[in-house]
Homo-oligomer: A and B are copies of this chain.
Amino acid sequence: MRIALDAMGGDHAPAPIVAGAIQAVQSTPDATVVLVGDRARIEPLLPTDYPRDRLEIFHASQAVGMDESPVDALRKKPDNSISRCWQLLAEKKVDAVVGAGNTGAMVAGGLRLRRFLKNVRRPCIATLMPTAKGHCVILDVGANVHPKPLHLLQYGAMGAIFAKHILGRENPTIGLMNVGEEEGKGHELAQKTHELFGNSPLKDRFSGNIEGRDIHRGKCDVVVTDGFVGNVILKLCEGVFDFLMKMVAKEVVEPLTVERAAAQKALDELVLQYEYSNVGGAPLLGIDGICIICHGSSGDRAIHNAIQMAAKYARCRLNEKIVQELDGLPAVDDE
């Protein structure tokens, strides 16, 4: 499979991005990575003996800044690396797009193509979160801040397919993020979505409402929510994680005298294992193609993981399975 990688996207691009691509082509024999970006900045980062048949460069003269307005940037910079990645996908020259650049521009670039999978109303961003029982899938974490109940039902279906085929869960359960467990809790969107799930073919997978504290307990394999709440959840977890790990370093590890080094090493490993910015990337589900959006601060390891995720996604034909699953769901909403 062929994967377009936005070499210019990310806080520290292009060096760690290119490094991640080099690792990925070494670890993933069936993947070819197309580095999209400024050839003059990418080429010097490649080792002399890199596999030219599986690591290509596609020149793009412009780049979208991390803080630029996505819509403005895509319009004013026609030769930006994000748009070029999507163009390669639209022309079927690649199977997947991976990038750690401006998230809004990544999503907008994809949505602009208007090539959604059959029956999909709105694509969504899914993210993996560590829990006491392995990872869960949370979606949407930011593609759509004004979804309707049918969109959330579709998120649940797509998330369950993802959990089954990417995470290997036999019978993934779906929970609806809410402010209490009882039916009838929450705002109108939550109430109507609860009703829709309960009357849908997904009802056997549906665990009903879950609360914020249930996510990390691993109560569900899939957590469905609107893009506003999901985005807050994603970034809040990052902030709490960072805060608590610093507190543990200062209050628990630092005062030790004999075993400080061992404790610090264990803490560093824990951070590496659970760091929210390091799980690889978040797939944009529902588009006709594969797109993995990485954290802006992604290092080579995150990029490497994201490329592997894109490859796994392509290998197991996830999109075909999503189309099949959505075929059985109601397709009419109250729009």
> Hey, which bits of chain A sit against chain B, CB under 8 A?
67, 69, 104, 130-132, 142, 145-146, 177, 179-180, 182, 186-188, 190, 211-217, 227-229, 231-248, 251-253, 255-259, 262-263, 266-267, 269-270, 274
Contacts and interface: CB of A to CB of B under 8 A. Distances in A.
- A131, A216, A239, most chain B CB atoms within 10 A: A239
B228 A229 contact: yes
A3 to B, nearest CB: 27
Contact of A215 (B130, B211, B236, B263): B236
A212 B187 contact: no
A232 B235 contact: no
B232 A179 contact: yes
Nearest to A129: B240
B266 A232 contact: no
Contact of A267 (B190, B217, B238, B248): B248
A215 B242 CA distance: 11
Contacts of A262: 255-256
Given A187-B145, A213-B236, A216-B242, A252 B263 contact: yes
- A69, A179, A255, most chain B CB atoms within 10 A: A179
Nearest to A255: B266
Given A212-B238, A244-B241, A232 B233 contact: yes
A240 B237 contact: yes
A71 to B, nearest CB: 10
B239 A248 contact: no
A215 to B, nearest CB: 6
A243 B131 CA distance: 7
Contact of A244 (B186, B244, B266): B244
Contacts of A269: 251
22 contacts: A104-B180, A131-B243, A132-B246, A187-B228, A212-B231, A212-B232, A212-B238, A213-B235, A215-B236, A229-B229, A236-B236, A248-B248, A248-B252, A251-B270, A252-B263, A252-B266, A253-B263, A255-B266, A256-B256, A256-B263, A259-B259, A259-B263
A269 B215 CA distance: 25
A251 to B, nearest CB: 5
Given A69-B182, A145-B179, A259-B259, A239 B213 contact: yes
- A213, A214, A233, A270, most chain B CB atoms within 10 A: A213
Contacts of A180: 104
Nearest to A260: B259
Given A187-B146, A253-B252, A258-B259, A212 B235 contact: yes
Given A216-B239, A251-B269, 4 more contacts: A212-B231, A213-B239, A236-B236, A248-B252
Lowest 9 CB-CB distances: which A-B pairs, in order? A212-B235, A212-B236, A213-B239, A216-B243, A179-B231, A216-B239, A213-B235, A145-B187, A212-B232
A228 B188 CA distance: 11
Nearest to A250: B270
B228 A212 contact: no
